[in-house]
A and B are shown apart, each in its own frame.
Chain A
Amino acid sequence: DIQMTQSPSSLSASVGDRVTITCRASQSISSYLNWYQQKPGKAPKLLIYAASSLQSGVPSRFSGSGSGTDFTLTISSLQPEDFATYYCQQSYSTLVFTFGPGTKVDIK
């Protein structure tokens, strides 16, 4: 299986901060990488697909980049509603999809 790691596991930030979350795959996954946001008690919500494509309706302050094994999710100016846990997910291996362990973003 392709293993996904994320760093940091948690971070504290202030409204208006630029936030960067990193996701790394155990082997090259090209650009087959998605990002989700999950708030407490809610289902995950798709933010970014194919490493850098913004899902319809998602604010433009969210962006994704990377290819191969290293990927980044950036929030350009953190808003109060962005405090949540973020997960990356690989779809390169179409037989087994795997998620990263998550990065929790909370208020500083």
Chain B
Amino acid sequence: QVQLQESGPGLVKPSQTLSLTCTVSGGSISSGSYYWSWIRQPAGKGLEWIGRIYTSGSTNYNPSLKSRVTISVDTSKNQFSLKLSSVTAADTAVYYCARGVSSSWFLGGWFDPWGQGTLVTVSS
């Protein structure tokens, strides 16, 4: 079955850019009615959707982060990536990648599966 794995630096300095990659295994990132999302969770808090990308390149971002977020996809590597610029301590969180499953009767869909998550700490 499809599995997702996040990778990237665990420590980022304030004002710099956070960069993470999600590698998809067990299936092609281009197959099916899927989109690919990033979701984050500060320690002890709830889940915040960051954005999504279709393999066509079409993206949607959370308005609260839109000015700082870029999500891209590399179908040749079966990967998609997140860049979050001008980070502060408030961006410290566990970052998850997830596959979005949509259909004609449920355009928004649901997230399944999720990667295991990676902790990113913003600190000097």
Q: A and B from one assembly?
A: yes
Interface of B is mostly: strand
Q: Determine whether the beta carbon of B107 is less than 8 Å from that of A96.
A: no
Contact bitstring B63-103, A, C-beta under 8 A = 1, else 0: 10000000000000000000000000000000010000100
Count of residues in B whose CB is under 8 Å from the partner chain? 22
How many Cβ-Cβ contacts under 8 Å join chain A to chain B? 63
Interface size band for A: 20 to 34
Q: Determine whether the beta carbon of A45 is less than 8 Å from that of B114.
A: yes
Contact bitstring A53-80, B, C-beta under 8 A = 1, else 0: 0010000000000000000000000000
List residues of A whose CB falls within 8 A of some B CB: 1, 32, 34, 36, 42-46, 49-50, 55, 87, 89-102
List residues of B whose CB falls within 8 A of some A CB: 37, 46-49, 60, 62-63, 96, 101, 106-117
